Chains A and B, each alone.
Chain A
Amino acid sequence: MSAILSAQKLSVRFGGVLAVKDVSFEVQAGEVFTLIGPNGAGKTTVFNLISRIYNPSSGTIDYTGPTGTLRLTDHAAHEVAALGIARTFQNIELFEFATVLQNLLIGRHTQRRSNLWEDLFFTGRVRTAELEAREKVEEVIEFLELQHYRDTLVAGLPYGVRKVVEMARALCAQPRLILLDEPSSGLNVEETDDMAFWIQDICQELGVTILMVEHDMSLVSKVSDRVLAMNQGEVLALGTSREVQNDPGVIEAYLGSVSDVASLRRPVALTGTGTGAGTGTGTGASR
């Protein structure tokens, strides 16, 4: 397995704040790689660096496409999609006044083969391309079960459905790497289970590499191959899900150290079946 994405010593500074400090990691092709960390750790900032919405103050990102490795940090934000990287957003960024179908068709923008003049006259070539795009989009709709919402304006959709539409839109771009920003936030248990299945399907059936930010530790344990824990812009630990959740540094970042907790502890009546202290399987940030 080769690395599809490789970040080296990424740092970005906003004013006086160093949001991301010397972050380095490698994502292998075909794996599910998760970034975890408390809020404000810089995870979405890393995503924005990969999407080229932000420029790093130092460090580079390398991406290995079908044509070879290139320096992603040399490319502009609108070139990222054409390279095969798609993403979803933490606070949904859908096109509110368009239907779900139109949103998904826009997701296929990088696959367009017609220029302005052909579009103006709607030549046969454009028509064929449109029908083809529609077929591909329908495949994604079927995969994510969005048939009911095809012609509904996004503005009227419930939150859970919007999250799915975001993911569908990212899939429509036929990416090689997909960045999922908190795919299960705001979803109930059932929807989160569905999401876990979809993530696994995307990875195994479609062969897409997944890089995701997540807070729900059960989802993380279920789907991730490797996990990177961040805190305050720095890398804390890297490894399998279990390894990272047991890492003392990570536990301290999420739960605080023993001395912190002691002052918060309230006297609890002993039930006699043992102490209530948890073992080290780390439930992480509670939902």
Chain B
Amino acid sequence: MRFIFKTDYDQDIRLAKHEGARFWYSALVIALLLAPWVLPEYWLAQLTFVLIYSIAGLGLMLLAGFTGLFSLGHAAFLGVGAYTEAVLTNAGIPFPIAIVGAAGLSAAVGWVVGLPALRVRGIYLGMATLAFGFIVEEGLARWESVTGGNSGLQVKPPSVSGWALSTATEFYALCLLITILATLGILNLLRSPTGRAFVAIRDSEVSAQSMGIHLAHYKTLSFALSAALAGIAGALYAHKLQFISPDQFSILQSIDLLLMIVIGGLGSVHGAFLGATFLIAMPQAIAILKDYLPASIGQAPGLQSVIYGAVLVSFVLFEPMGLHGRWLKVRTYLQSFPFYRKGMFKRQKSFQKSDRLR
């Protein structure tokens, strides 16, 4: 059993709540730093993808998990970031400026997309973001002079003060650095008044207003920040693939992002990382699984779709708190052994109430 004996307020504000947490997270960071020398190139590339998707996941988690605004077209911001980065880098602009440009333009688009949020809620907001997603995707495809349209765009490697980061290890290090900065940024936000304002908006808009939280300001801010993170992720994505086309930022990509945060665990920072790991690991797992299945099932084109759908359905039905929730349950079991009670995390039977009157 772990009891955290608190002696000063700082302990509640600190990021690492106790010695154990500090140890394990440091160990994780060190392991990630050593990865290029330990992992074969293929797995390093996959790990890079995990980091990139984690950044996008952090953005969507901030918007959907912490502010309660659901965006069904988030891939659009990914696309805006990717194309901005591609265009700027191809024009010779160094990476630090290009990525700021990508993040900034995505944030601006995010801000615009957030404007409907001020008037509509719930499913209507989802529809508005879905609509924006389609429009941006189409826009990227039509604006051929800049984006190359449907035939796609080659992307040069990122360059920092003349030095091009073209090897896998260098790029991985860049992604790791940006991921750590993004995570720290989000964690800082969440322990500060801004983050609490987001949570307030999620739980009760009326009383948030009565506490002095300006809804319009914070909602559009949440969209902008979320889009900026997605833009950064998109920029890194563009460099990783070295070739981008509009169909990579379609509704299917948006659904993948949502899948990621739902399976990871809505409302937790860990969830973004767990979800990203899951998203990248799934195709690998399916590929391995195919060898064990009879040819008629294993080679069928729809298999991936079925497995994705089945996993999503299972998680929503049986593990609504996602992978993070499952981890919390396991950890509680281990910590309170042998006093763990089966009903500890039991969901209350809930009855549906009208969302329109929430």
- Residues of chain A at the chain B interface (Cβ within 8 Å): 51, 53, 77-82, 86-87, 89, 93-98, 101-102, 105-110, 112, 114, 116, 119-122, 126-127, 129-131, 134-135, 169, 173
Q: Is the CB of B9 within 8 A of A97?
A: no
Contacts of A94 in B (CB 8 A): 203-204, 207
Expressed in whole angstroms, the Cα–Cα distance for A86 and B211 within the complex equals 7
Question: Cβ of A98 and Cβ of B204 under 8 Å apart?
Answer: no
Please report the total number of B residues contacting A with Cβ < 8 Å: 31
Pairs of residues from A and B, 6 with the lowest C-beta to C-beta distance, nearest first: A81-B212, A95-B203, A93-B207, A119-B192, A122-B188, A110-B212
* Residue pair A122, B211 in contact (C-beta under 8 Å): no
Closest to B194 in A: A119
Closest Cβ of chain B: how far from A196's Cβ, in Å? 24
A53-B209 in contact (CB<8A) = yes
B180-215 CB contact bits vs A (8 Å, 1 = yes)?
Answer: 000001001101111111011011101111111111
**Could you tell me the distance between the alpha carbons of A77 and B206 in the complex, rounded to whole angstroms?**
9
Known: A98-B203, A173-B212. 5 other contacts (CB 8 A): A78-B209, A78-B213, A78-B215, A120-B188, A134-B13
Contact check, A78 vs B212: say whether CB atoms are below 8 A apart.
yes
Instruction: Check B191 against A109 for contact (C-beta < 8 Å).
Output: no
A130 touches B204 (CB 8 A): no
Knowing A82-B212, A98-B199, A110-B212, the reply to whether A122 touches B9 (Cβ < 8 A) is no
- A127 touches which one: B13, B196, B199, B213 (CB < 8 A)? B13
**Cβ–Cβ < 8 Å partners of B192 in chain A:** 114, 119, 122, 126, 130
Q: Are B212 and A109 in contact (CB under 8 A)?
A: yes
Contact A95 to B210, CB < 8 A, known contacts A119-B188, A130-B191: no
Cross-chain contact B188 with A173 (CB below 8 angstroms): no
Nearest-Cβ distance from residue A189 to partner chain B, whole angstroms = 28
Kindly list chain A residues whose C-beta atoms are within 8 Å of the C-beta of B355.
Answer: none
B170 is an interface residue with CB less than 8 A from chain A: no
In the complex, which residues of chain A have a beta carbon less than 8 angstroms from the beta carbon of B199?
95, 97-98, 102, 106
Provide a sorted-by-A list of 21 A–B residue pairs whose CB atoms are within 8 angstroms.
A78-B212, A78-B213, A81-B211, A81-B212, A86-B210, A86-B211, A87-B210, A93-B206, A95-B203, A98-B200, A102-B196, A106-B208, A109-B193, A109-B211, A112-B193, A119-B188, A121-B185, A122-B188, A129-B193, A131-B13, A169-B211
